[in-house]
A and B are shown apart, each in its own frame.
Chain A
Amino acid sequence: MKKTLTPASGLLLLTLLFVWWWNSRLPKAVELTPTLTGQAEYCLTCHADVPEISPSHPTATFGCVTCHGGERLALDADLAHSTMRGGANPSDLSVVEQSCGGTSCHSGSEADDRHHIQRVMTSIQSTYAGAIANIRYTFGAQTDLNAYSGITTLTDEQTQTGIASLAAFKAAGDDHPFIQKFGENCLTCHINATPLEDENYTRHTGCAACHSTAQHTFATAIPYTQCNTCHNRGNYDLRTMTFVERTDQPTKRIDDYYQPIAQFTQCEYTLDCVDCHTRTEVMGNGDIHANKKDIQYTQCKTCHGTPTEQPLTKKLTDPNDIAFTLSFLNPVGDLKLGDMILITEKGEPLWNTRVLSDGTYELFGKATSQYFTFNPVMGSGCTQSGDDQSSAYCHECHAVER
């Protein structure tokens, strides 16, 4: 017995030394206590190199768990990730309310302009209602072009101006084989759909589909290339109900732009989509709409006016004007109290524009910060009727062919 004591004690020491050494090799736990929650979390132990997602969501304030969920005290990766919301994307529409919602965040009141989630959920980018209605009508599954189905079931009983409800579209329930093929092949556009596999289509789902332009980055400065991941990828072939990918590899910006249009005015291909199209047009207004024409209203005259009318403008006299908030989030210009800016027919501020003292206008590119100046139509030689605003009319004189 005594003979084995010495080797046994040596073995015990070796074992303990090994355990100590093994433990010392493990990453040192990095604790963060975000000011918003006041609760410790250890995500930075492994994720210290993840860039801060945006100036509006600093890690020191929000931490990781507020948005991503997960087990905040776990140091084992599997356990820590076991209760995360939406995998790596908490803005996926299936979990967005838990991740990004809350009255102080993105599901507050319409009066506070904090109903972002409600707007996105009911927007045509999410429901795809118009496309579904058109296909079902075309192949005889419904007798008019009204929208009855969307990607998911949706109701809006309070609406005065939109569609009250949509049923979930079940392609398999329709008899026509083309509708079934549409369901199988053509539902990759709405923002909660998994995108097609190609680097040109790379985007996330939910809010991040538009706002995340790089890894762990959220921005309102959205370049046209982000819009391209859905809007310029190719075309759906209605004869075969399949998606036909673009095969060209454009090298010039004008060729890389929105494919269905063949002609562009200079501003259409020089600016980014978000320089003209407002957040209400893109994210919706909280009502369920079916088609682009129901919610898209920016036209050439929004910025340029017509031969007989100047574009709508507004003087910024209220420091709480939403224009300042939007400008704060993407400070491409230096918007000040007293500035005169352009607004849409719905009163939305085009906060990256300003009326200059000589009656012309300036614009800062939201994604590029590029500086542009432009003129009103009034006083020019243009004889275009102000009511004719479809692209064909302005393109008649101002288009650049490609």
Chain B
Amino acid sequence: MSELSRRDFLKLARDGFLYLSGALALGGLLRFLDHDPNPAAKTEFDLGPASNYPLNSRTILSDPPAVLLHTESGFSAFSLVCTHLGCSLGNDSVGFSCLCHGSRFDADGTVTHGPADKPLRYLRVEVMDEGNLKLFTA
């Protein structure tokens, strides 16, 4: 193996520096371009295989907060976000209650106690081609 000449060493170092610089610059650029400082809120949620939710089941989802219903007429869902100011709802024996301001809804999402004055919002559910359920919040 021949000895590395000073000239070759400097050339190798220069090329190394340039390649590393290029990689760093490219990484920074990609990171910059990939960053969305103002992302839109997620509105579509994959709930997994529809077979996970048997007929006549009622499933409380955490992300997004919602109730998924599977009845004879198919899948449906309603949101568990309070229609007053958007707080999360807790689940109790008679329905759902807002942890912030005390609104209450029955098991079907109808208001039984203010300050909320609108029922819980129904959400669209679709069975996708691959058999998964997709929930739409907008």
Contacts and interface: CB of A to CB of B under 8 A. Distances in A.
Interface stretch (B10-18, B69-77, B128-136): B10-18
B25 interface: yes
Contact of B100 (A38, A58, A324): A58
Nearest to B18: A9
Interface string A29-42: 10101111011101
Interface in A29-66: 29, 31, 33-36, 38-40, 42, 55-58, 60-62
Nearest to B24: A16
A13 B24 contact: yes
Contacts, number: 83
A73 interface: yes
A338 to B, nearest CB: 16
A6 interface: yes
Q: Is the interface of A mostly helix, strand, loop or mixed?
A: loop
A325 interface: yes
A104 interface: yes
A12 interface: yes
Contacts of A5: 14
Contacts of B110: none
Nearest to B112: A319
A35 B102 contact: no
Q: Please indicate which of the listed interface residues B17, B24, B39, B115 has the most CB atoms of chain A within 10 Å of its own CB.
A: B17
B56 interface: no
Contacts of B13: 6, 9-10
Contact of A56 (B17, B18, B24, B100): B100
A38 B99 contact: no
Contacts of B86: 34-36, 61
Contacts of B87: 35, 58, 61
A320 interface: yes
A58 B86 CA distance: 10
B100 A61 contact: yes
Contacts of A12: 17-18, 21
Contacts of A382: none
B25 A16 contact: yes
A112 B116 CA distance: 11
A356 interface: no
B17 A324 contact: no
A301 B81 CA distance: 44
B14 A61 contact: no
Interface in A82-127: 104-105, 112, 114
Nearest to B11: A6
B41 interface: yes
Nearest to A16: B24
Given A9-B18, A61-B88, A55 B115 contact: no
Interface of B: 10-11, 13-14, 17-18, 20-21, 24-25, 28, 37-39, 41, 81, 84-88, 99-102, 112-115
Nearest 6 A/B pairs, CB to CB:
A9-B17, A35-B86, A328-B102, A6-B14, A36-B86, A16-B24
